Amino acid sequence: MDFSHHSDLPRNLRFLILVTSDTIATKISKGERFADKSGDLAIGAISGANHTVVDRLYVPNDISAIRERVKNAALNRVADIILISGGTGPGPRDLTIEAVRPLFEKELPGFGELFRWMSYEKVGTSAMASRATAGILNGVLVFALPGSPEAVRLALDKIIIPESPHLVKMIRGHTHPSGDVATD
């Protein structure tokens, strides 16, 4: 297959990191220090791939709070990609999917399928607990990942960073040299 059309992919994408965590949100409200290993790891991976992190935000595990942050960021196009870390499991406080899925104009189910398959290779059957997903909102890619550093590393290194330039190009409606809209 000819991938010469990949030579004109966007080189420096803008990422917004949104961490959903009741614990961190509470510590922020009290002015306490906290650690965010997954967010730190994401910044390192994104910057290491010569992309830009425009901001890292924290919200509690609350549907309205998550939805509002994602919607505002996408509508204002502050980033090409919104990376959400946390809230994708089956627990009662895991609400990220319920917050973002209704916002998607298009869902990218292949991301979640691929992520769970790759996770299975690392952690076995517990991968089935992940509800990781991705979609498009107002021309912005949105990825919802588990909050564990290992999951963030896997998703970024093996899926998101390698494929995002091509996805962003397709979302922007660029065409292949053949004149067809990029859909491969």
* Long-range contacts of residues 149-155, Cβ cutoff 8 Å, at least 24 apart: 149/37, 149/38, 149/41, 150/122, 150/123, 151/38, 151/115, 151/119, 152/38, 152/41, 152/42, 152/45, 152/85, 153/41, 153/45, 154/115, 154/118, 154/119, 154/122, 155/115
Q: Is residue 181 part of a domain?
A: no
Bridge partners of 177? none
Q: Is residue 176 part of a domain?
A: no
Q: What is the CATH number of the domain that holds 116?
A: 3.40.980.10
Three-state DSSP class for 71?
helix
What are the pLDDT digits (tens) for 17-65?
999 999 999 999 999 999 999 999 999 999 999 999 999 999 999 999 9
Q: Is residue 38 part of a domain?
A: yes
pTM: 0.90
Provide the residue type at 43 as one letter: I
- Domain residues for the domain of 40 are 12-171
Q: Is residue 101 part of a domain?
A: yes
What are the pLDDT digits (tens) for 110-144?
999 999 999 999 999 999 999 999 999 999 999 99
Q: Is residue 134 part of a domain?
A: yes
Q: Is residue 113 part of a domain?
A: yes
Give the count of domains, the chain: 1
